[in-house]
Amino acid sequence: MSYQGKKNIPKITSDRLLIKGGRIVNDDQSFHADIYLEDGVIKQIGDNLIVPGGVKTIEANGKMVIPGGIDIHTHFQMPYRGTTTVDDFAQGSKAALAGGTTMIVDHVIPEPGSSLMEAYDQWRQWADEKACCDYSLHVDITHWNDSIKQEVDNLIKEKGVNSFQVYMAYKDYYQMSNSELYEIFTFLAERGGIVQVHAENGEIIAEEQARMLQMGITGPEGHVLSRPEELEAEAVFRAITIASQTNCPLYVTRVMSKSAADIISQARKRGNVVFGEPITASLGTDGTHYWSKNWAKAASFVTSPPLSPDPTTPDYLNTLLSSGDLSVTGSAHCTFSVSQKAIGKDDFTQIPEGVNGVEERMTLIWDKAVTTGKMDENMFVAVTSTNAAKILNLYPRKGRIAVGSDADLVIWDTDSLRTITAKTHNSVAEYNVFEGMELRGAPLVVICQGKIVLEDGNMHVTSGVGRFIPCAPYPDYAYKRVKARKQLAVLRAVPRGMYDGPVSEFSMSRGGTPSASARTSPTKQPVRNLHQSGFSLAGNPASGHGLLRKPI
Amino acid sequence: MSGTGYQGKNSIPHLTSERLLIKGGRVVNDDQSFFADVYIEDGLIKQVGENLVVPGGVKVIEVNGHMVIPGGIDVNTCLMKPYLGTNPVDDFLQGTKAALAGGTTMIIDHVTPQPGDSLLDAFECWQEAADKKACCDYSLHVDIPQWNETVKDELELLVHEKGINSFQVYMAYKDVYQMSDSELYEAFSFLKQLGAVVLVHAENGDLIAQEQRKILGMGITGPEGHPLSRPEELEAEAVFRAITLGNRVNCPVYITKVMSKSAADTITQARRKGSVVFGEPITASLATDGSHYWSKNWAKAAAYVTSPPLSPDPTTPDHLHTLLACGDLQVVGSAHCTYSTSQKAIGKDDFTLIPEGTNGVEERMGFVWDKAVAMGKMDENQFVAVTSTNAAKIFNLYPRKGRIAVGSDADIVIWDPNSVKTISAKNQQSASEYNIFEGLECRGGPVLVLSQGQVVYEEGKLQVQQGTGRFIPRKHFPDHAYQREAEQEAVTRGMYDGPVYDVVPTPKYITPAPSAKSSPTSHQPPPIRNLHQSNFSLSGAQTDDNVPRRSGHRIVGPPGGRSNITSLG
């Protein structure tokens, strides 16, 4: 893998750093060792390292040193009906770094009908200009035809994109039919891509929205009432079914409810290759706020699928995250100002969707899962960083503290206690959906590309230093099993004698059948040779069947 | 219940003079069993009890402690379903004869109009044929092949005037019968208002179409392609979706033909969560499995073709019986729809053209007894429930049908739990050449069957009269299915009167009511802000000043300047 940075950016390669006395925590083990960083890469790990003189030393004093977090789901600077989200790549990645996340993966969302490649270039340009940390991109497939196929192919082969999101919701806009989903899944499975789905049943949502509005419910509570969690669970179930038919690894973005999470964990127990991504909001708060009397507050929680009104949801999702049934965490950070949200003041279906969470993600998981005893520190590293790196095929460059890996590190302070509030957060949004929550655990020092970006509570970020990290297709983490199954799942026809009995007269009026058979009986000779017939009434049931079923 | 007019047809010579006394039997209903005599007159049960006072000269049937059960109700038959211009070999005569021989005294047949046909015309056509031929009472389900406005009117008519309360919709058969989720939602909502029971053929038709193409492309054209292109997951997926839809519109959902373990499990889980959903396994899924699709004998393999297909997993029948016994599945149908081998051979070169359907109306009760009761999974009362009573309740026939009680119809079966019979196409009533249960031994069977108070089957002999079957109308809103409703309310809040972004008029998605672009519309408060009434606070000192706004975007604010205040009006 060539780590090409951009030429026009002043490189920070002269930085040399020694982290002394820390406890390195990877997803598999924890151990005490020093780390020496040079040129943005981890050069040495061990005790009593021999390092050049004059190296800056950070004393970790036995604190945890973990791989920098990877936020696998953000929407920075996302265009929406002529406006953009208030956190651009600079502001968003700054917030990410403040929370201990050193890499983000943003979603490219082309308008339906426009070129994926152009949208990709546009996002690259925006991010290259402003991002303060490394980034990768997912590309959303918002419509499907042959030219899109070609573009997807190019994106995988030449542009370093290996994950594509499709939508089962947003009827008449982004939504794909089951047949289209089947084709996309098949196509991506052949090319080693990861299919991400936004899983909600868009058709039922459209009906429910119409019903809510008709009932006079126009406020943000209509959002959650028209998108009950069942619709999420249903779509997840359907997506898993299609993925299993097409033998394609599946990634469910934004797991927001208990029932959706249950479907994923059941499918994993059956052996399906499916990954679930709860987000900061679903792990930290619930949907009771949609009924807030304060419109602006209620609207700030609007995201899709919605937060579940069931207040036991966050705890449950944290449990499944700890047990490994859910695999990675994102933030789906997508912030709109109150005045932008107010586009939907008279009609909840017009409220721009999105919540904050990129900054709070790691702290929140530490507080809700690790300090409560659900999860250990290694699992914490797995769900905040390592698993994401594996799915994106960036491991071990990202997501691990090892010689040769990128120098994206966080010294984690398990004792810090702070209160989340919009006053102090790094996002420019006026609201924070976690307002007032006291959370334990926070980054003490953040090192990105070998440079200290957070120390003593002060941020030192440079806009534009973030590099695009290309992701290769066929990540082992998802495709090893898929490849093995492909070899097993060979279907064979049963060799039988030709049926040469009589055939009823029939009229081909039924539409949509793939091929019409000849109307007459035996195609060869009109004389039946009874000795060769494989046909017998009340035949013996002894016939074994030469079929190899799919193992799953 | 006896208040509803039991009008028979005038043209049929009624056998009302028949008076019968069944002596010494053990009456088994779905709730209890007890020893009692049953006195029958005019096709109705007149008395149940011991030492009955009956008129002299009554014919007495001594049953010597045998079980006396309500006649079975087969909720799913297709005795007239046309396929590419041909009809099943068992018509209403042949089919009802087979039903009676198996202890089933009532069938509910599916009216299957083609897309574009009038439902009403199809219904009348079916009713006419059945009135001429049926030997036992019958009712009809009407299948909805497509969804549009005219269908709505016809449905209303069928429910209110024709006595139909159950309609089937299809999630499979792409481009023919299949409905989209939106159409299903509308159909469910509409049928719910009418108080009808929604029957669902649950399979994901889109995926099946794709899989069929794939399988044919691989050169698999035989009957094994049928189950390969319709894996049980697609059934489970559709069941899950149907239940979701049912929950959304608060409508009871009835899943026809539960063929696989995973579909049955999905139903079970939904019932645990409180959904109103009923599951109907059929004779075939309860007694055999899909391994026969790989038979070297094409005609035999084709005989098993039905949709959803029989599961190739041989543990399926056992699992379904367990769920039936514990009440997670409620009723047993047969989906009896038999085509001759030459009809099946329409699909000899392409499995997608094989007409779908298996036999089972005659074997239905026997196999439930053999596989569930004789195995100790189920007791005799539950046996009555799943073969008769539950069906009568769901489709609003209870207690006229499905129970032995005073006033109920005299559809009665004397059941012998010890009889053993080997199923074979040679001695079946059905006219088809194949019996998919060929060679299976079945314990339990009827000794004597009474339909409308008449002995129609005794010691292996049928004495039926064509055309005696009556159409039984069913009322809407069956109690067993219809209850529960929830309400949603809007939150009352003050109008939001802060700034609103001016948006480009490309709607995000097609929404029914586009909102006004400007700020408060009509109830605008006076331009003086009353800060005391405000409940809005921007959690703290930050302002919008650092918000990067792109120039060229106008912020529409109320008179008096931009504000972020929401005031309670």
- Among residues B533, B419, B457, B413, the alpha carbon closest in space to that of B72 is found at B413
User: Is the Cβ pair A342, B501 closer than 8 Å?
Assistant: yes
The arithmetic mean of pLDDT across residues B206-215, rounded, is 94
Give the rounded percent of residues in chain B with a pLDDT score beyond 90. Answer: 72
Closest by CA to B235, choosing from B195, B285, B185, is B285
User: A238, B241: Cβ pair inside 8 Å?
Assistant: yes
Query: Residue B143's closest CA among B104, B106, B172?
Result: B172
With cut-offs at 50, 70 and 90, classify the pLDDT of residue A104: very high
* Average pLDDT of chain A, as a whole number: 88
Residue A426 structure tokens:
């790094």
Give the residue-averaged pLDDT of B165-192. 94
| Alpha-carbon span A134 to A72, nearest angstrom | 12
Alpha-carbon radius of gyration of chain B: 29
A–B CB contacts, 8 A cutoff, strictly below: 335
- What would the pLDDT profile of B41-97 be if each residue is shown by its tens digit? 989 999 999 989 988 888 899 998 899 999 999 999 999 999 988 999 999 999 999
CA dihedral B398, B404, B406, B407 (to 10 degrees): 40
Q: Which of B168, B169, B176 is nearest to B212 (CA)?
A: B176
Task: Give the mean pLDDT of A419-435.
Answer: 94
pLDDT tens profile B463-515: 999 999 999 999 999 888 886 554 555 677 777 778 887 776 554 444 444 44
Whole-number Å distance between alpha carbons of A80 and B178: 36
Q: Chain B closest CA to A375's CA: distance in Å?
A: 29
Give the strand pairing for A451-455 and B72-77: unpaired
Cβ(A229)–Cβ(A282) under 8 Å?
no
A27 with A382: CB under 8 angstroms? yes
Partners of B419 in the β-ladder:
none
Angle at A236 between CA A230 and CA A238, to 5 degrees: 105
Longest dimension (CA), chain A: 98
CA distance B301 to chain A (A): 10
Q: pLDDT tens for residues B367-390?
A: 999 999 998 889 999 999 999 999
Contacts of A535 in chain B (CB under 8 A): 297-299, 341
Chain-chain contact of A342 with B504 (C-beta, under 8 angstroms): no
- Percent of chain B predicted with pLDDT > 70: 84
Amino acid sitting at position A512: G
Distance between CA atoms of residues B284 and A509, nearest Å: 29
pLDDT at B69: 96
Q: Strand runs (DSSP E) across B289-406, as ranges? A: none
Q: Which residue in the set A82, A225, A546 is minimally distant from B294, CB to CB?
A: A546
Give A506's pLDDT tier (boundaries 50, 70, 90): confident
pLDDT band at residue B532 under the 50/70/90 scheme: low
* Triad A282, A283, A284: Cα angle to 5°: 95
Look up tokens 């200290």; give the residue: A452
**Is the predicted pLDDT of residue A218 greater than 50, yes or no?**
yes
Measured CA to CA, the distance from residue A449 to residue A466 in angstroms comes to 9
Shortest distance, CA A359 to any CA of chain B (angstroms): 18
> Nearest C-alpha of chain A: how many angstroms from B415?
28
pLDDT on residue B497: 79
Interface ipTM: 0.71
> What is the model's pLDDT at position A7?
46
| Torsion on CA atoms B166, B172, B174, B178, rounded to nearest 10 | 20
Which of B:46-85 have CB within 8 Å of A?
A: 83-85
* Strands A79-80 and A83-84, bridge-based pairing: antiparallel
Which tokens sit at A165? 């999101």
The pLDDT of residue A407: 95
- The lowest-confidence range among A274-278, B2-6, B101-105, B236-240 is B2-6
Taking 90 as the threshold, does the pLDDT of residue B190 lie above it? yes
Interface membership of B550 toward A (CB under 8 Å): yes
pLDDT confidence tier of residue A499, bands split at 50, 70 and 90: confident
Q: How far is B349 from chain A, CA to nearest CA, in Å?
A: 6
Residue of B nearest to A533 (CA): B297
Looking at the complex, does the CB of residue B142 fall below 8 Å from at least one CB of chain A?
no
Per-residue pLDDT reduced to its tens digit, B267-279: 999 998 888 899 9
Q: Under an 8 A CB cutoff, do A422 and B220 touch?
A: no
Bridge partners, A448 (sequence order): A451
CB contact under 8 A, B539 and A491: no
- Which of B218, B235, B500 to mutate: most A Cβ within 10 Å? B500
B261, B298, B344, B423, best to mutate vs chain A, most A CBs in 10 Å: B298
Q: Which residues of chain A from 321 to 350 reach within 8 Å of chain B, CB to CB?
A: 337-340, 342-347, 349-350
Q: What is the mean pLDDT of residues A187-205?
A: 95
DSSP string, B9-28: -TTSPP-TT-EEEEEEEEEE
DSSP per position, A450-513: TEEEEETTEE---TT-PPB----SS-HHHHHHHHHHHHH----PPP-PPP-S---------TT-
Asked if B433 and A296 come within 8 Å (Cβ–Cβ), the reply is no
Contact A177 B206 (CB under 8 A): yes
pLDDT of residue A335: 95
Show residues of chain A in contact with B178, CB under 8 Å.
none
In angstroms, what CA-CA distances link B265 with B236, B271, B321, B377, B385?
8, 10, 12, 18, 20
Chain A's closest residue to B556, CA to CA, is: A339
Structure confidence at residue B489 (pLDDT): 57
Query: At A536, is the pLDDT very low, low, confident or very high (cuts 50, 70, 90)?
Result: very low
**What mean pLDDT do residues B146-156 have?**
93
Q: How many residues does chain B have?
A: 569
Taking residues A284-309, report their average pLDDT: 94
Distance CA B37, CA B22 (A): 6
3-state DSSP assignment of residue A101: strand
Nearest of A65, A91, A58 to residue A452 by alpha carbon: A58
Q: Which residues 161-190 of A are in CB contact (within 8 Å) with B?
A: 170-173, 177-179, 182-183
Q: Which amino acid is at B326?
A: C
Asked if A342's CB is within 8 angstroms of B500's CB, the reply is yes
List chain B residues with CB under 8 Å of A171.
182, 509-510
Contact residues on chain B for A339, CB-CB shorter than 8 A: 498-501, 544, 555, 564
C-beta atoms surrounding B127 within 10 Å: 17
pLDDT at res. A550: 43
In angstroms, rounded to a whole number, what is the distance separating the alpha carbons of residues A386 and B253?
44
**Residue A330 C-alpha, separation from nearest chain B C-alpha, in angstroms:** 24
Contact, A68 vs A362, CB < 8 A? no
pLDDT at B192 over 80: yes
DSSP of A258-289, one letter per residue?
HHHHHHHHHHHHHT--EEEEEBHHHHH--GGG
Q: Quick one: average pLDDT of A33-40? A: 93
| Chain B residue with Cα closest to A201 | B181
Cβ-based burial of B17 (10 A; exposed 0-12, middle 13-18, buried ≥19): exposed
What φ, ψ does residue B142 adopt, rounded to 5°?
-115, 130
- Read off the pLDDT of residues B81-110 as tens digits, 9 standing for 90 and up: 999 889 999 999 999 999 999 999 999 999
pLDDT score recorded for residue B126: 95
**pLDDT, average across residues A79-105:** 94
DSSP-derived 3-state class of residue A66: strand
Q: What pLDDT is attached to residue B30?
A: 92
User: Which of A 268-297 lie inside 8 A of B, CB atoms?
Assistant: 291-297
Cα(B280)–Cα(B396) distance, integer angstroms: 16
Does A43 touch chain B if contact means CB atoms closer than 8 Å? no
Please state, in angstroms and as integers, the Cα–Cα distance from residue A256 to each residue in A176, A303, B479, following that order: 21, 10, 36
pLDDT tens digits, residue range B333-364? 999 999 999 999 999 999 999 999 999 999 99
The answer to whether A182 contacts B237, with C-beta atoms less than 8 Å apart, is no
- What's the CA gap between A401 and A66, in Å, rounded? 7
Identify the pLDDT of residue A531. 52
- Is the CB of residue B504 less than 8 Å away from at least one CB of chain A? yes
User: Positive or negative CA dihedral for B236, B240, B241, B242?
Assistant: positive
Q: Is the pLDDT at A2 greater than 80, yes or no?
A: no
Report the DSSP beta bridge partners of residue A468.
A135
Tell whether A267 lies on the interface with B, counting CB pairs under 8 A: no
B128 class by beta-carbon count within 10 Å (0-12 exposed, 13-18 middle, 19+ buried): exposed
Q: Which residues of B touch A207 (CB under 8 A)?
A: 182, 185-186, 248
Q: How many CB atoms lie within 10 A of CB B380?
A: 18
Contact B279, B308 (CB under 8 A): no
Question: What's the CA gap between B366 and B376, in Å, rounded?
Answer: 15
Among residues A250, A245, A184, the alpha carbon closest in space to that of B236 is found at A245
- Helix, strand, coil percentages (3-state) for chain B, rounded to 5, are 30, 20, 50
Percent of all residues in chain A with a pLDDT value above 70, rounded to a whole number: 89
For an interface test with B, which of A247, A349, A490 has the most B Cβ atoms less than 10 Å from its Cβ? A349
